[in-house]
Amino acid sequence: MNASDIIEILLVEDSPEDLELTCRALKNANLGNHVQVARDGAEALDFLFAEGEHAGRSVEDTPKLILLDLKLPKVDGLEVLQRIKGDTRTQHIPVVVLTSSKEQSDVVESYALGVNSYIVKPVNFESFVEAVQKLGYYWLLLNQPPKLEK
């Protein structure tokens, strides 16, 4: 695998508007070069576990960060989170829920399933961009993940 094949962020988002805003914010912060987009929960799981369209990739080539919306078609975000944190191959990947849901039950269940952070999407454009840039900086540049044997 060469450096251009490395996926740093898996962005799981079904809203075209939020997807565009998030990608633009990451790019403006110079964090958008290695982003893989999944538009529903099933596509995210196929990517992570090298199934379906992504059967040719290695499960060990995990992203450094997963940005996960909760309200997704096909497989909802909580189920995606449960699968990620329940598998030894992917449980170490930081998952940040980035959602419009302020439901306390979603927050509680996300943390019970092992989410690393829960962020409610700001409605204001500038605040949204700033939030995405800050979380990108933190998880990709400041956070120290464990070194895993491959």
Question: Where exactly are the structural domains of the chain?
Answer: 6-140
Q: Give per-residue pLDDT as tens, 65-76.
A: 999 999 999 999
Confidence of residue 57 (pLDDT cuts 50, 70, 90): confident
Using a pLDDT cut of 70, give the percent of the chain over it: 93
Residue 44 and residue 137: Cα distance in Å, rounded? 22
Cβ-contact 121, 99 below 8 angstroms: yes
Higher pLDDT, 67 or 3: 67
CA angle 119, 60, 34 (to 5 degrees): 55
Q: What is the model's pLDDT at position 148? A: 67
Question: According to CATH, what is the number of the domain 6-140?
Answer: 3.40.50.2300
> Strand 95-99 and strand 35-38: pairing?
unpaired
